[in-house]
Amino acid sequence: MADGPTNRSVFTKDLSAPDPIPDEAIEAALRLMRDGRLFRYGEDRAGLSEAALLEQEFAAHLGVRYAVGLNSGGCALFVALKAAGVAPGDEVLVNAFTLAPVPGAITHAGATPVLVDITESYVVDLDDLQRKAESSGAKFLLLSYMRGHIPDMDRVVDICRRFGLILIEDCAHTMGARWDGRLSGTHGKVSCFSTQTFKHVNSGEGGLLATDDADLAAKAILHSGSYMLYAQHKARPPLEVFERHKYQTPNFSMRMSGLVAALLRPQLVSLDKRIALWRGIYDRLAGLFDGIDNLTVPARSEKEAFVPSSMQFSLTGLSATEIQSFLKECDDHGVHIKWFGGREPVGFTSSHDHWRYIAAAAELPRANEVLRGLCDFRLPSGLTEEDCLTLASVVREAMQQVTGEQ
């Protein structure tokens, strides 16, 4: 904290630092490396691979029948789209606030993203979704729970039912989250998760796909690159389902490695503990941010049990120049904040204006306004009470410096 009226608070921790890999995961990875069989399949393999075990455990965690390990969350999205029946030329509805791999996966599948507006709470605008479902004739909705924000899933499911939309859930930021008690990833036909370093479980890169649909699961396994060794999967459909698809389903070679799965299995066991840590940190910071002028943390539904491994807020009443000054003040004092309203993409952060391969992206008046002031930073699960106080002081003092208010 600041020592006096002329001193400024300085945050000294790295918000981008990932949580360390637990010892159990390191030991599992070492055992696998000593064995040498990092590839998940083997023509003469005894027992189950780490990847097959992870899929079985993840399916049980979600309460679904089938799970498939992929080599990234983006690959999980692409495979889910293809296995769900998306064909070249199809239109796929997707909310405008998301990350570049999401419209990228749609384009990779040969389809066209149709962007749907968002609300001040950063979730899909359900009225615009209904309008575009009706006007576009699209049959697929790729719903991105960007930064862990979940819309009213009762209405989402109802809209999908009424307009015949196949719901594909992008749960990269909602592993372990719930809507009205129901786990994120269990509302649609298929769901996709990421295990990239900054997600809720960390393997550097990796992805998981989950579904109750036997034909979709079989196609996803074949697409992932199982060759004809799909029987080695544990959370898979009966073998006769593969007979319907094995000659028509291309191998995209996007499977998860055994080493990735070995790193993930112990982390999945401890996920609930980390969720509790993130929620405590988020709630504390939200309280500390309350009352900072020109800064708003949106209220969240009581039905939404979210997993806040990052935090978002909106800057209001500031010009673009003032926002940039605020961000620089924060950065100069140790708090690096990402901004979705920048003219150019920076690092991982981009917005629909930067995806110029998408047609008619300008028809998003609310998204444009919301993203103009939307800021974001990571929440390492090891932040302490002192860290939260210092971080909030940096943000408050930066705002005071920019607005001239004390």
| Distance of alpha carbon 148 from alpha carbon 310, whole angstroms | 8
**Residue 167 domain-assigned (yes or no):** yes
Inside any domain, residue 93? yes
Domain boundary among 216, 244, 269: 269
Of the candidates 52, 9, 50, 2, the one whose C-alpha atom is nearest the C-alpha of residue 30 is 50
Q: Is residue 87 part of a domain?
A: yes
Residues contacting residue 254 through CB under 8 Å, at least 6 positions apart: 70, 71, 72, 75, 78, 79, 223, 224, 225
Strand partners, 115: 94
Q: Are residues 192 and 230 in the same domain?
A: yes
Residue 13 lies in a domain: no
What is the domain-level CATH number for residue 322? 3.90.1150.10
- Name the domain boundary from 269, 287, 310: 269
In order of 136, 152, 192, 222, 242, the CA distances from 82 in angstroms are: 20, 26, 13, 11, 16
Residues 90 and 224 occupy one common structural domain: yes
Of 70, 80, 78, 56, whose CA–CA distance to 208 is shortest?
70
Residues 125 and 263 in one domain: yes
Same-domain pairing of 253 and 363? no
Tell me whether residue 1 is in a domain: no
One domain, residues 337 and 319: yes
Are residue 215 and residue 346 in the same domain, yes or no? Answer: no
Same domain, 260 and 275: no
Q: Which domain holds residue 89?
A: 23-269
Residue 263, judged by CB atoms within 10 A of its CB (0-12, 13-18, 19+), counts as buried
Please list the pLDDT of the chain residue by residue as tens digits (406 residues). Answer: 444 445 899 999 999 999 899 999 999 999 999 999 899 998 776 667 999 999 999 999 999 999 999 999 999 999 999 999 999 999 999 999 999 999 999 999 999 999 999 999 999 999 999 999 999 999 999 999 999 999 999 999 999 999 999 999 999 999 999 999 999 999 999 999 999 999 999 999 999 999 999 999 999 999 999 999 999 999 999 999 999 999 999 999 999 999 999 999 999 999 999 999 999 999 999 999 999 999 999 999 999 999 999 999 999 999 999 999 999 999 999 999 999 999 888 888 988 888 988 876 557 889 999 999 999 999 999 999 999 999 999 999 999 999 986 5
Residues 82 and 131 in one domain: yes
**Which CATH number belongs to the domain containing residue 28 in this structure?**
3.40.640.10
Contacts of residue 36, Cβ cutoff 8 Å, sequence gap at least 6: none
Model's pTM, two decimal places?
A: 0.95
Token pair 């300008």 is found at 362
252 and 146 together in one domain: yes
Which one of 228, 250, 269 terminates a domain?
269
Spatial distance between the Cα atoms of 248 and 150, rounded to a whole number of angstroms: 36
Residues 55 and 126 reside in one and the same domain: yes
Terminal CA-to-CA distance of the chain, rounded, Å? 16
- Classify residue 15: in a domain, yes or no: no
Nearest-10 Cα torsion for 197, 201, 207, 212: -160
Q: Are residues 250 and 359 in the same domain?
A: no
The domain tally of the chain equals 2
Same-domain check for residues 302 and 253? no
In a domain, 53, yes or no: yes
